[in-house]
Protein backbone atom coordinates (compact mmCIF):
# COMPACT_ATOMS: atom_id res chain seq x y z
CA UNK A 1 0.00 0.00 0.00
CA UNK A 2 1.33 3.42 -0.91
CA UNK A 3 -0.08 6.90 -0.89
CA UNK A 4 0.26 9.44 -3.68
CA UNK A 5 3.35 11.11 -2.22
CA UNK A 6 4.92 8.43 -0.06
CA UNK A 7 5.92 4.81 0.35
CA UNK A 8 5.25 1.77 2.44
CA UNK A 9 7.79 1.87 5.26
CA UNK A 10 9.61 -1.13 6.69
CA UNK A 11 7.26 -0.97 9.68
CA UNK A 12 4.24 -1.67 7.48
CA UNK A 13 3.07 1.90 7.96
CA UNK A 14 2.55 4.24 5.06
CA UNK A 15 5.24 6.92 5.13
CA UNK A 16 5.07 10.23 3.29
CA UNK A 17 7.18 13.34 2.95
CA UNK A 18 4.19 15.56 2.30
CA UNK A 19 1.10 16.27 4.39
CA UNK A 20 -2.07 16.42 2.30
CA UNK A 21 -4.98 17.07 4.67
CA UNK A 22 -7.61 15.88 2.20
CA UNK A 23 -5.73 12.65 1.50
CA UNK A 24 -5.24 12.13 5.23
CA UNK A 25 -8.96 12.39 5.97
CA UNK A 26 -9.80 10.13 3.05
CA UNK A 27 -7.35 7.30 3.77
CA UNK A 28 -6.26 7.39 7.42
CA UNK A 29 -8.48 9.42 9.75
CA UNK A 30 -9.61 7.19 12.62
CA UNK A 31 -8.62 4.08 10.66
CA UNK A 32 -4.86 3.54 10.59
CA UNK A 33 -1.63 5.31 11.60
CA UNK A 34 0.64 7.09 9.15
CA UNK A 35 4.13 8.62 9.36
CA UNK A 36 5.11 11.94 7.78
CA UNK A 37 8.89 12.20 7.51
CA UNK A 38 10.32 15.67 7.97
CA UNK A 39 6.91 17.38 8.24
CA UNK A 40 7.25 18.55 11.82
CA UNK A 41 7.47 22.21 10.84
CA UNK A 42 3.90 21.98 9.53
CA UNK A 43 2.83 21.43 13.15
CA UNK A 44 5.40 23.44 15.13
CA UNK A 45 8.13 25.78 13.89
CA UNK A 46 10.70 26.35 15.20
CA UNK A 47 11.02 23.07 17.06
CA UNK A 48 11.44 23.09 20.83
CA UNK A 49 15.08 22.78 21.86
CA UNK A 50 16.64 21.75 25.15
CA UNK A 51 16.95 25.36 26.34
CA UNK A 52 13.15 25.68 26.00
CA UNK A 53 12.67 22.51 28.05
CA UNK A 54 15.11 23.58 30.76
CA UNK A 55 13.40 26.98 31.07
CA UNK A 56 10.00 25.26 31.33
CA UNK A 57 11.23 22.85 33.97
CA UNK A 58 12.46 25.80 36.01
CA UNK A 59 9.07 27.50 35.79
CA UNK A 60 7.20 24.33 36.66
CA UNK A 61 9.34 23.92 39.76
CA UNK A 62 8.60 27.47 40.93
CA UNK A 63 4.98 28.06 39.89
CA UNK A 64 1.76 26.10 40.35
CA UNK A 65 0.21 25.28 36.96
CA UNK A 66 -3.52 24.94 37.58
CA UNK A 67 -4.48 24.41 33.93
CA UNK A 68 -1.79 21.84 33.13
CA UNK A 69 -1.37 18.36 34.55
CA UNK A 70 2.32 17.72 35.25
CA UNK A 71 3.70 14.23 35.89
CA UNK A 72 7.31 13.51 36.87
CA UNK A 73 8.77 10.08 37.44
CA UNK A 74 10.74 9.85 40.66
CA UNK A 75 13.95 8.77 38.92
CA UNK A 76 13.84 11.96 36.81
CA UNK A 77 13.72 10.09 33.52
CA UNK A 78 10.20 11.16 32.50
CA UNK A 79 8.37 14.50 32.46
CA UNK A 80 4.89 14.51 30.95
CA UNK A 81 2.82 17.71 30.73
CA UNK A 82 -0.82 17.33 29.77
CA UNK A 83 -2.42 20.49 28.31
CA UNK A 84 1.03 21.95 27.74
CA UNK A 85 -0.41 24.74 25.57
CA UNK A 86 -1.20 26.49 28.87
CA UNK A 87 2.50 26.70 29.84
CA UNK A 88 4.17 27.22 26.46
CA UNK A 89 2.85 30.05 24.31
CA UNK A 90 4.35 28.56 21.14
CA UNK A 91 2.24 25.45 21.66
CA UNK A 92 -0.90 27.55 22.17
CA UNK A 93 -0.24 29.31 18.86
CA UNK A 94 0.42 26.00 17.10
CA UNK A 95 -2.82 24.52 18.50
CA UNK A 96 -4.85 27.43 17.14
CA UNK A 97 -3.23 27.12 13.70
CA UNK A 98 -3.77 23.35 13.56
CA UNK A 99 -7.42 23.62 14.59
CA UNK A 100 -7.98 25.95 11.65
CA UNK A 101 -5.96 23.82 9.22
CA UNK A 102 -7.76 20.57 10.08
CA UNK A 103 -11.20 22.07 10.70
CA UNK A 104 -11.39 21.20 14.40
CA UNK A 105 -13.28 22.97 17.17
CA UNK A 106 -10.20 22.79 19.40
CA UNK A 107 -6.71 21.35 19.68
CA UNK A 108 -4.57 20.56 22.71
CA UNK A 109 -0.90 19.67 23.18
CA UNK A 110 0.93 17.24 25.47
CA UNK A 111 4.67 17.43 26.08
CA UNK A 112 6.81 14.36 26.71
CA UNK A 113 10.42 14.60 27.85
CA UNK A 114 12.54 11.53 28.60
CA UNK A 115 16.14 11.16 29.69
CA UNK A 116 17.15 7.54 29.46
CA UNK A 117 17.09 4.89 26.76
CA UNK A 118 13.80 2.97 26.87
CA UNK A 119 12.06 5.56 29.08
CA UNK A 120 8.39 6.25 28.36
CA UNK A 121 4.93 6.48 29.93
CA UNK A 122 3.80 2.94 29.08
CA UNK A 123 1.34 1.37 26.67
CA UNK A 124 -2.11 2.97 26.58
CA UNK A 125 -4.88 4.21 24.29
CA UNK A 126 -6.58 7.60 24.09
CA UNK A 127 -9.99 9.03 23.29
CA UNK A 128 -8.30 11.53 21.01
CA UNK A 129 -6.60 11.57 17.62
CA UNK A 130 -2.93 12.31 18.24
CA UNK A 131 -0.16 13.72 16.06
CA UNK A 132 3.21 13.02 17.69
CA UNK A 133 5.87 15.48 16.51
CA UNK A 134 9.43 14.52 17.42
CA UNK A 135 11.43 17.56 18.56
CA UNK A 136 14.76 16.30 19.91
CA UNK A 137 16.39 12.88 20.12
CA UNK A 138 14.56 9.81 18.85
CA UNK A 139 11.61 7.70 19.96
CA UNK A 140 10.64 4.12 19.12
CA UNK A 141 6.94 3.40 18.75
CA UNK A 142 4.83 0.25 18.88
CA UNK A 143 1.36 0.89 17.46
CA UNK A 144 -1.86 -1.05 16.95
CA UNK A 145 -5.15 -0.23 15.23
CA UNK A 146 -8.37 1.10 16.80
CA UNK A 147 -9.97 -2.36 16.51
CA UNK A 148 -7.25 -3.80 18.75
CA UNK A 149 -9.02 -2.06 21.64
CA UNK A 150 -12.29 -3.77 22.55
CA UNK A 151 -15.52 -1.82 22.11
CA UNK A 152 -16.27 -2.11 25.83
CA UNK A 153 -12.93 -0.49 26.70
CA UNK A 154 -13.56 2.18 24.07
CA UNK A 155 -16.95 2.86 25.67
CA UNK A 156 -15.48 3.21 29.15
CA UNK A 157 -12.79 5.59 27.87
CA UNK A 158 -15.30 7.80 26.07
CA UNK A 159 -17.51 7.93 29.15
CA UNK A 160 -14.44 8.51 31.36
CA UNK A 161 -15.69 5.79 33.67
CA UNK A 162 -14.51 6.32 37.24
CA UNK A 163 -11.58 4.07 38.12
CA UNK A 164 -11.04 2.89 34.53
CA UNK A 165 -7.37 2.62 33.52
CA UNK A 166 -6.86 3.05 29.75
CA UNK A 167 -3.86 0.72 29.52
CA UNK A 168 -3.14 -0.44 25.98
CA UNK A 169 -3.17 -3.97 24.60
CA UNK A 170 -0.96 -4.21 21.55
CA UNK A 171 -1.55 -6.88 18.92
CA UNK A 172 0.87 -9.80 18.66
CA UNK A 173 2.66 -8.08 15.77
CA UNK A 174 2.34 -4.30 16.21
CA UNK A 175 3.62 -1.68 13.80
CA UNK A 176 7.11 -0.51 14.76
CA UNK A 177 8.58 2.82 13.76
CA UNK A 178 11.36 5.14 14.91
CA UNK A 179 10.79 8.88 14.86
CA UNK A 180 13.67 11.29 14.37
CA UNK A 181 13.51 15.09 14.85
CA UNK A 182 10.98 16.56 12.42
CA UNK A 183 9.04 13.31 11.94
CA UNK A 184 5.32 13.05 12.71
CA UNK A 185 3.27 9.97 13.67
CA UNK A 186 -0.52 9.99 13.49
CA UNK A 187 -2.20 7.78 16.13
CA UNK A 188 -5.92 7.19 15.51
CA UNK A 189 -8.39 7.40 18.38
CA UNK A 190 -8.48 4.13 20.42
CA UNK A 191 -5.31 2.74 18.78
CA UNK A 192 -3.01 1.24 21.46
CA UNK A 193 0.51 2.65 21.40
CA UNK A 194 3.74 2.88 23.35
CA UNK A 195 6.67 5.22 22.77
CA UNK A 196 10.09 4.80 24.35
CA UNK A 197 13.26 6.83 24.01
CA UNK A 198 15.52 5.60 21.23
CA UNK A 199 19.28 5.28 21.17
CA UNK A 200 20.17 7.58 18.27
CA UNK A 201 21.30 10.52 20.38
CA UNK A 202 22.56 11.07 23.88
CA UNK A 203 20.77 13.58 26.07
CA UNK A 204 17.16 12.47 25.89
CA UNK A 205 14.05 12.80 23.78
CA UNK A 206 11.45 15.56 23.41
CA UNK A 207 8.14 15.13 21.61
CA UNK A 208 4.85 17.02 21.42
CA UNK A 209 1.49 15.34 20.81
CA UNK A 210 -1.14 17.58 19.26
CA UNK A 211 -4.59 16.15 19.95
CA UNK A 212 -8.16 16.46 18.77
CA UNK A 213 -10.30 15.12 21.60
CA UNK A 214 -13.22 12.98 20.47
CA UNK A 215 -16.68 13.80 21.79
CA UNK A 216 -19.68 11.50 22.06
CA UNK A 217 -23.27 12.41 21.27
CA UNK A 218 -23.97 11.93 24.99
CA UNK A 219 -21.38 14.56 25.83
CA UNK A 220 -22.54 17.02 23.17
CA UNK A 221 -26.30 16.61 23.33
CA UNK A 222 -27.46 15.17 26.65
CA UNK A 223 -27.47 18.30 28.80
CA UNK A 224 -29.02 20.62 26.17
CA UNK A 225 -31.50 17.84 25.32
CA UNK A 226 -32.58 17.57 28.95
CA UNK A 227 -33.05 21.35 29.10
CA UNK A 228 -35.14 21.27 25.92
CA UNK A 229 -37.25 18.35 27.19
CA UNK A 230 -38.00 20.31 30.33
CA UNK A 231 -39.99 22.66 28.07
CA UNK A 232 -42.09 19.82 26.61
CA UNK A 233 -45.31 19.23 28.57
CA UNK A 234 -45.24 15.54 27.70
CA UNK A 235 -42.02 15.29 29.72
CA UNK A 236 -42.53 17.81 32.52
CA UNK A 237 -46.25 17.29 33.15
CA UNK A 238 -47.79 14.90 35.70
CA UNK A 239 -48.09 11.35 34.40
CA UNK A 240 -51.61 9.90 34.23
CA UNK A 241 -52.48 6.94 36.48
CA UNK A 242 -52.24 4.53 33.57
CA UNK A 243 -48.68 5.57 32.76
CA UNK A 244 -47.07 7.70 30.07
CA UNK A 245 -48.30 7.97 26.50
CA UNK A 246 -45.17 6.59 24.80
CA UNK A 247 -46.07 7.97 21.37
CA UNK A 248 -46.45 11.44 22.86
CA UNK A 249 -43.13 11.12 24.70
CA UNK A 250 -41.38 9.92 21.55
CA UNK A 251 -42.73 12.78 19.46
CA UNK A 252 -41.59 15.35 22.00
CA UNK A 253 -38.18 13.66 22.23
CA UNK A 254 -37.67 13.76 18.47
CA UNK A 255 -38.64 17.45 18.33
CA UNK A 256 -36.26 18.30 21.16
CA UNK A 257 -33.38 16.33 19.64
CA UNK A 258 -33.83 18.02 16.26
CA UNK A 259 -33.89 21.45 17.89
CA UNK A 260 -30.68 20.73 19.82
CA UNK A 261 -28.94 19.22 16.80
CA UNK A 262 -29.80 22.22 14.61
CA UNK A 263 -28.47 24.60 17.27
CA UNK A 264 -25.16 22.70 17.31
CA UNK A 265 -24.70 23.02 13.54
CA UNK A 266 -25.39 26.76 13.28
| Average pLDDT of the residues in 127-136 | 98
| Average pLDDT of the residues in 208-215 | 96
Q: Can you give the pLDDT at residue 9?
A: 56
Residue 202 scores a pLDDT above 70: no
Q: Which residue has the higher pLDDT, 134 or 76?
A: 134
Q: How far apart are CA 39 and CA 183, in angstroms?
A: 6
Spatial CA neighbour of 146 closest among 118, 132, 116, 126: 126
Residue 3 scores a pLDDT above 60: no
Q: Which residue has the higher pLDDT, 218 or 65?
A: 218
Per-residue pLDDT tens digits for 8-51 = 556 689 999 999 999 999 999 999 999 999 999 999 999 999 99
User: In the structure, what pLDDT confidence band is assigned to residue 265 with cuts at 50, 70 and 90?
Assistant: confident
Q: Is 79 left (phi over 0), alpha (psi -120 to 50) or beta?
A: beta
Amino acid sequence: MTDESGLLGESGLVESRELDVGLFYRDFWRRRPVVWRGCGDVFLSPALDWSDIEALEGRLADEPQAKSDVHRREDGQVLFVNQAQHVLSELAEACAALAERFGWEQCTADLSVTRGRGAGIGCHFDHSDNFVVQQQGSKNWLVGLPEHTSQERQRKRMLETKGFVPSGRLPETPFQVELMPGDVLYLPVFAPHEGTEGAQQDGGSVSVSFSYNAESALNQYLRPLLRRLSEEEAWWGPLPPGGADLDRLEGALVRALRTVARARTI
